[in-house]
Amino acid sequence: MKKSKPFEEFVLPQGTNKGLKQPKLGEVLIDHDHDHEEENFVSKYIFSHDHKMIGKQFLMTAVFMGLVAMMLSILFRIQLAWPGEESSVLSLFLGDTWAPDGILKEDMYLGLVTLHGTIMVFFLLTGGLSGTFSNLLIPLQLGARDMASGFMNMLSYWFFFLSSLLMFASLFIQEGAVFGIQIGDPTTSLPGVWDGSGPAMAGWTIYPPLSALPQSVSGSGLGMTFWLFSMTIFIASSLIGSLNYIVTVLNLRTKGMTMTRMPLTIWAFFVTAILGTLSFPVLLSAALLLLMDRMAGTSFYLSDIIVGSDMLANHGGSPILYQHLFWFLGHPEVYIVLLPALGLSSEVIATNSRKPIFGYKAMIGSIMAIGFLSFIVWGHHMFITGMNPFLGSVFVFTTLLIAIPSAVKVFNYLTTLWKGSLVLTPAMMFAIGLVSTFITGGVTGIILADSALDIAIHDTYFVVAHFHIVMGMSAVFGMFAGVYHWFPKMFGRMMNTRLGYVHFWLTIIGAYGVFFPMHFVGLAGAPRRYYNYSVYQDFDQGALDMMMDLNVIVTTFAIFSAVAQIIFLFNFFYSIFRGPRAPQNPWRSTTLEWTTPVEHVHGNWPGDLPTVHRWPYDYSKPGSDVDFIMQTEPLAEGEEEH
Amino acid sequence: MEKIIILIVLVTGVIALAQLVRLYELTYKLKDRGEHDIPNRDNNLNAKLMIGFMLFLFSGFIYLVLRFGWTGRGEAASIQGVETDWLLNINFVIIIAVFFLTNFLLFFFSFKYVRKPGVKAKYYSHNNKLEMIWTIVPAVVLAVIIILGLKSWSELTADASKKAEKIELFAYQFAWVARYAGEDNTLGKFDYKLTTGNNELALMTGSTIDSSVQEMGKSIEAVEQKLKLINFDYLSSEYRSLISSSDYKSDVDELVTEISSSEFNLVGAEEQLKQLYGRYTGGGDHIKITLNEPNDETKSIIGDLEKDLSTKERLYRSLVQMKQNHNPSQDKYTLNDIIQKDTLYLCKGREYDFSFRAKDVIHSAYFPHFRAQMNVVPGMPTSFKFTPILTTQEMRASKNNDEFNYVIMCNKICGGAHYKMKMIVVVYPEAEYDDWMALKRKATFKDQYFPNEETEMIAAK
Ligand code: HEM
Ligand SMILES: [Cu+2]
Ligand SMILES: [Cu+2]
């Protein structure tokens, strides 16, 4: 029996269901023409409550922020490969203030690194990845008309937008002014908090006291104030979004869509949202305490400090407290970034292998295990802060435990490919690339998790290599896979496949070329966040020569992969407007989103909501002559579910 | 090398561009197709490229190892480092095997199982036994890794032995200072509030406390003076001329004292001034008194000064308290400490018990060649130990580099010049080290800063 849920049963936010009229029995409502009349530009494209539009808004903002962050990395990579050489690129982008005579200033190096890291992690891969695809896919794959609250969803995007704007603006801070507008109030008795130049410069982890004391580095003035305000708003956005995702997954599944019939994408988004709601508030409190230390003279993180010749009276605080709070978010954060990517690629891999994902239940189990364990491993970032060695041992143990569900996931992916009938779409290639980077970056994690070994390589380029491969590349590849695969769903058109191939090959070669050699830089003992390695001249010229060779290789590949993204951008924007029209189900996939019309309509399905009869992975099922069976297809007589 | 790479980049770029243009045209053709499918030709080509990429990845790895070697920093130069390297190598063997094996399977499968006409994918949804195996096998391997790792960890972090030589490393933006414990091998106490021009390390003795109390007293006076001056700066000009006229000298002085006393508060300033003036003229108000509004700049200076003053007063009070609680019998430990800048000297084969202290922000003492590292955190002492086993000379021979030196680098972002914050380390053989130390013992903290305070030493003994 089909479930028919009349429209008014749906708690759609006001304004969204205006265009829908109650369907008469048997009537198919294709109503978007009607919509156009009712909606104006602002409510359709700007303050939209529609989850598909909001997903696209997240994607566009994130693409922009991602490009900014990538550009920043190119700028500081130029500095690393050719230190002290005049660079016209640097003076073009940074001007006389930050790159007089084409030579980067040391403070700004740290500013670039900090903003690069912050934007990549939070704005591209948290806001961008989970924001885009949770929004797009949760209602579509669950058979819901929209998110539980369209209004909150809109709010989530606009908070994200505002925080992106603030973070971006902070790049332009000059002596207490942004874009020439004076922010600093000279009558304030908070010296430094409202002045200073440049963006935050304390690393993306903004450890106090460096981030708390405007006297210690020029970016810890207004730049840090911007950072903190921006992140506060970002966290609000993320919390609102996550709550909405959780509620939607729990309450708005269509008939027959049991939890164990949900595609793995949804499972990943669901667990991600839970991680976000549990961990972001902790970062929020860390940030608020830091704001207090900066503005209200409290001593949460400060004790016994003299900056320059300034003796502070703060006593009794602990900088380490901040680190505990930060990493309580910080570690789950890497899974907030990673799980959606893994979820997307599970779906892409199953579809394009024309096979069920191997070990569906084990995959769900490992997502949940990873999610749970990610809360009790944060200490592995703090092995050498002088924490109690016993506590360190506990964190070694819990961290290495995470390797088990991660290994299970990898083996399950491999088995899914095994004896498949692979269709190498660009999305599929990126998903395969993701599995490769997840392996390559994951194995070095085993070394970093071993506290005894971490002593020798903590904070070196080995770490930079590790997290870029396992988190940066994997998540970005997951995101690309998602974009290529669901582009037809988002824009009703196809992207160009061959450009996709070129993009993939250049990107994977470039990205491995950037991050793989960094292991060797790190093993040579090179600390990260160094403006240049000239100190090596005083003690080991040989190591310096080797490092400079490697740095040139890395930077060249970085420029190479950055240039390769132009192909993607071209393909993306060109296809939005001129791509061939998408068929309804271009990848011959089983999930519900491909049962909706190509043209977007409010409420997603013009008629009744679909009813689900089977799991999402019935590809090449024996006894069936088609190679995929939609989830809406009732089980045949005597057919086993799976 | 660079040139070749840049060339490759350019060539690939050109090819990519050409592709781009060609595909731009193709897009138009594709537009007419309703169905979307990947042609077999593309599929097979990409499958082959998967193998090609795998070869690129593996050979890139091997190339890097051959060209740059494992240990860019040379063999480990401490007992603990040798242990670490051993463990590191075991781990590397395991993970490199996994890296090759799984990446191979991945790319090989992507190649082998690419769609072929007439071959249907195998419907294979789960196999509990297999899944069990690849849960348990990693678990066992990890158990081994954990056990070995924790064994090393507990040795590395165990307390240093009693006879280990004590050294304190003091970090500030952007340099390191070492303090040897001297003959008694006991480091004297310190308190950051004791920092003064000639006591940079804030060491604690009766007389350093005294001079800090004095200095703090003086700097409080200086701030008060400034506040007084600035208060007068914005009085109206009539008023200023009145109070500076000599006829009323003594009264004015009194007024001045009152105005600049600590109770004088800006908000009620005008009111108070009027009152004072009223008292002064016997109630008449024939001279109109106005306060020039302090401009924004003045206000902010006053704000800063007041904040500064209250900070200093707090510090002053705790210094006085420190003085009261001070136990002079401890001074001897401090007085024979040896302060050492620029270069840290160590002795081969001797165990060192380092403690770390930061002045301003977090730093990290990273000794890459000894495989040792510990964060240096303001307000929280940290420590660790290691035993050098190769002298600088031996390491130079081993690295085949006459100019090599050991080093401490700062490895926690700490400000603009973070990248320059280092200290050279020299490891001497025992005899040389002892000679150096004998010399240094003649230049203790006391010798440098209190050469005349014989009495204190004697009293302490
Ligand atoms: C164009 C590609 C990229 C290049 C060339 C690049 C390069 C770098 C380098 C060299 C550093 C270390 C700088 C230092 O420690 O001195 C760095 C830091 C970082 N990158 Fe990237 N990166 C890229 C993409 C990404 C992506 C996709 C992510 C997303 C996870 C990311 C996240 C980070 C983070 C979190 C840091 C640490 C920032 C900090 O130290 O505060 N990067 N990047
Ligand atoms: Cu972590
Ligand atoms: Cu530093």
CB contacts, 8 Å: A74 with chain B: none
CA of A382 to the centre of ligand 2 (A): 9
Half-sphere exposure of B453 (CA within 13 A, CB side): 19
Whether residue B6 is predicted with pLDDT greater than 90 in this model: the reply is no
User: Which helix H or strand E contains B270, and what residues bound it?
Assistant: helix B269-281
Whether residue A563 lies within 8 A of chain B, CB to CB, comes out as yes
Determine the residue type at B220. Answer: I
Cα–Cα distance for residue pair B67/A557, rounded to 1 Å: 18
Q: Mutate which of A82, A206, A384 to test chain B, going by most B C-beta atoms within 10 A?
A: A384
Q: What is the spatial distance between Cα B46 and Cα B140, in angstroms, rounded to a whole number? A: 37
**Mutational pocket test of ligand 1: of A464, A470, A519, the residue with most ligand atoms within 8 Å of the beta carbon:** A464
Write out pLDDT tens, residues A530-567: 999 999 988 888 888 888 989 999 999 999 999 999 99
| Beta-strand pair B372-376/B165-172 | unpaired
Helix (H) or strand (E) holding A173: strand A173-174
Q: How far apart are CA A403 and CA A399, in angstroms?
A: 7
Q: Which pLDDT score, from 0 to 100, does residue A160 have?
A: 95
Distances in Å between the alpha carbon of A24 and those of A19, A21, A144? 15, 9, 20
> What is the structure's pLDDT at B386?
93
CA–centroid distance for B105 within its chain: 43
Give the per-residue pLDDT at A240: 93
Higher pLDDT pick, A64 / B17: A64
Report the nearest atom of ligand 1 relative to the CA of A528: 15
Distance in Å from the first CA to the final CA of chain A: 21
- Cα(A15)–Cα(A39) distance, integer angstroms: 9
Q: Is the pLDDT of residue B291 over 80?
A: no
Which secondary-structure segment (H or E) carries A280? helix A264-295
User: A389: cis peptide before it, omega within 30°?
Assistant: no
Tokens of A396: 């070694």
Residue having the nearest C-alpha atom to atom 36 of ligand 1:
A117
The residue count for chain A: 642
Cα–Cα dist A71/A566, whole Å: 12
Residues of chain A scoring pLDDT < 50: 1-37
**A46 in Cβ contact with A141 (< 8 Å):** no
Beta-sheet strand order (sheet of B372-376): B343-347, B422-428, B406-410, B363-367, B372-376
Q: Residues B44, B46, B51, B52: is their CA dihedral positive or negative?
A: positive
Bridge pairing between strands B165-172 and B352-358: parallel
Torsion, Cα B259 B263 B264 B268, to 10 degrees, reads -140
Torsion of CA A10, A11, A15, A20, to 10 degrees: 10
Nearest CA to ligand 1 atom 33: A117
What domains lie within chain A, and their CATH numbers? 54-595 (1.20.210.10)
Which residue out of A67, A73, A459 has the highest number of ligand 1 atoms within 8 Å of its CB and is therefore the one to mutate? A73
| Residue A429 structure tokens | 């290639």
Q: Which SS3 state, helix, strand or coil, does residue A364 take?
A: helix
**Cα A387 from Cα A151, distance rounded (Å):** 45
The answer, for A432 touching chain B at a CB cutoff of 8 Å, is yes
| Cβ-Cβ contacts under 8 Å, B356 against chain A | 386
Q: What is the B450 CA–ligand 3 centroid distance (Å)? A: 32
**B153 neighbourhood in chain A, CB within 8 Å:** 389, 392-393, 396, 450-452
Instruction: Please report the DSSP string for A570-609 in residue order.
Output: HHHHHHHHHSPBPPSSTT---SGGGGS-SS--TTS-SSSP
Q: How far is B122 from chain A (nearest CA, A)?
A: 6
Domain segments of chain B: what residues?
1-37, 38-118, 165-195+329-460, 210-325
A73 lines ligand 1 (CB under 6 A): yes
| Number of other CB atoms surrounding residue B285 within 10 Å | 10
Number of helices and strands in chain B (H, E):
14, 10
Q: Between chains, do B109 and A560 touch, taking CB under 8 Å as contact?
A: no
B169 alpha carbon to ligand 3 midpoint, in Å?
14
* Secondary element (H or E) of residue B217: helix B206-233
Return d(Cα A587, Cα A556) in angstroms, integer. Answer: 36
Closest-approach residue (CA) in chain B for A527: B411
Find, among B105, B104, B114, B120, the residue nearest to B47 by Cα.
B114
The confidence band for B67, taking pLDDT boundaries of 50, 70 and 90, is confident
Distance (Å, rounded) from C-alpha A603 to C-alpha A609?
9
Q: What is the CATH number of domain B165-195+329-460?
A: 2.60.40.420
Structure confidence at residue A639 (pLDDT): 77
Is B102:A379 a contact under the CB 8 Å cutoff? Answer: no
For ligand 3, the distance from its centroid to the CA atom of residue B364, given in whole angstroms, is: 7
Query: For residue B303, with 0-12 CB atoms within 10 Å meaning exposed, 13-18 middle and 19 or more buried, which class applies?
Result: middle
**What does the block give as tokens for B417?**
């010049």
Residue of B280 and B121 predicted with greater confidence = B121
CA–CA distance, B389 with A94 (Å, rounded to integer): 48
pLDDT at A476: 96
Which residues touch B457 (CB under 8 Å, ≥6 apart)?
B331, B332, B335, B446
CB-CB under 8 Å, A397 with B20:
no
Q: What secondary structure, in 3-state letters, does A430-444 show?
A: HHHHHHHHHHHHHHH
User: What confidence tier does B450 reach under pLDDT thresholds 50, 70, 90?
Assistant: confident
Instruction: Name every chain A residue with its beta carbon within 8 A of the beta carbon of B150.
Output: 393, 396-397, 451-452
By the CB < 8 Å criterion, does A628 face chain B? Answer: no
Give B411-440 pLDDT, tens digit per residue: 999 998 999 999 999 999 999 999 999 988
Among the bound ligands, the one closest to the CA of B414: 3
Query: Which pLDDT score is estimated for A10?
Result: 41
Among residues B336, B378, B337, B386, the alpha carbon closest in space to that of B360 is found at B378
Contact map slice: A 574-593 vs B, CB within 8 A: 574, 578-583, 586-587
Query: A471: Cβ below 6 Å to ligand 1?
Result: yes
Quote the CA–CA distance of B214 and B196 in Å, as a whole number. Answer: 11
- Give per-residue burial for B25-47: e unless 16+ CB within 10 Å, then b: eebeebeeeeebebeeebbeebb
| Nearest Cα residue to A631 out of A619, A623, A296, A46 | A619
Mutational pocket test of ligand 1: of A65, A77, A113, A116, the residue with most ligand atoms within 8 Å of the beta carbon:
A116
Given a contact cutoff of 8 angstroms between Cβ atoms, the answer to whether A245 and A270 are in contact is: yes
pLDDT at B332: 85
Residue A206 CA to ligand 3 center (angstroms) comes to: 13
Contacts of B91 in chain A (CB under 8 A): 446-447, 450, 453
C-alpha B29/C-alpha B23 separation (Å) is 10
Q: Is the pLDDT of residue B27 over 70?
A: no
> What is this structure's pTM?
0.88
Partner-chain contact A459 B152, CB within 8 Å: no
For B32, the closest chain A residue by CA position comes to A580
Contact B91 A539 (CB under 8 A): no
- Residue minimizing CA distance to atom 27 of ligand 1: A472
Backbone angles phi, psi at B62, to 5 degrees: -65, -40
A319 in reach of chain B (CB within 8 A) = yes
Q: Tell me what percent of the residues of chain B surpass a pLDDT of 90.
A: 40
User: A5: Cβ below 6 Å to ligand 1?
Assistant: no
Burial letters A241-279, b for 16+ CB under 10 A, else e: bbbbbbebbeebbbbbbeeebbbbbbbbbbbbbbbbbbb
What was the pLDDT predicted at A480? 96
pLDDT tens digit sequence for A130-157 = 999 999 999 999 999 999 888 899 999 9
Measured CA angle at A565 (ends A564, A568), to 5 deg: 110
Q: Which residue of chain A has the CA closest to B56?
A: A509
What's the whole-number mean pLDDT along residues B365-388? 93
How distant is the Cα of B291 from the closest Cα of chain A, in angstroms?
A: 18
Q: What are phi and psi of B442, to 5 degrees?
A: -85, -5
Q: What is the ipTM of this complex?
A: 0.89
**Interface A-B: count of C-beta contacts within 8 A:** 454
Is A565 part of the contact surface with chain B (CB cutoff 8 Å)?
no
The confidence score (pLDDT) of residue A162 equals 95
Which of A407, A459, A540 is opposite residue B404, by nearest beta carbon?
A540
A348 touches ligand 1 (CB under 6 Å): no
- Is the pLDDT reported for residue B3 higher than 60? no
